[in-house]
Structure 1
Amino acid sequence: MRRTMVTHRVEIVTRQVPLHPIADDAQYEVAVAATNGLIDAGAGDEEHSLAPLLGLLGEFIAAYEERTYPRPDAPPAEVLRLLMEQHGLKQGDLPEIGSQGVVSEILSGKRESNKNQIAHLSERFGVSPATFF
């Protein structure tokens, strides 16, 4: 009886948070939604107990995107610059990332974004966190 309850709970969790490589667009959408939920829950903070789950989902999403939507290699700074341009943003418009100086250092390649910054960028632009790795 207990094993059945545990199996049932695992099935419920895996419907909400895919704990396996992503096979199709439907699973991808579920994974992205779960990622956004984890970010909303604070898992973008490396110290958060759900941070490892967010990292795992990010890896599954990135692998699926690489297989399904190949894109030319572009440094994360270049991707951020393009997204800012598309959204009409300036360096000072990203306070969740840091000061204008921090954003400038990220855009110039002098500094890499940390997990928390990547989580904020992913949420702000509606893209996978893998976009900034």
Structure 2
Amino acid sequence: MNIFPIRTEADYEKALSRIEMLMDAEYGTPEGDELDILTTLVENYEAKHFPIPACDPVEAIRFRMEQMGLEAKDLTPIIGSRSKVSEILNHKRQLSISMIRNLHAQLNVPYESLIGA
């Protein structure tokens, strides 16, 4: 097992090819260990070179609403008045800390999605 840092696109492609070959490796075997190490290296390379942009909080809320079959009016107990809900969903008002807490607690929207970080 010769494992090296992934520094270039060619290194990255080579690591992906090797991971594909090792996908059926059993845990605790030398091949399984190699797969584990390569996967970690690839994840690190991808985090540096292909970062995932921050989520738009309104899109996160809309996504959860769709998943749960909710309408804007269903958010009034969580966010406040219908006008506040409308302003939030139309990007005319920022989420407050209490709104973020309520959306997380009641709809299980991740904090990271709500703060756009």
Higher Cα Rg, which structure? 2
- TM-score between the two structures when normalised by the length of structure 1: 0.44
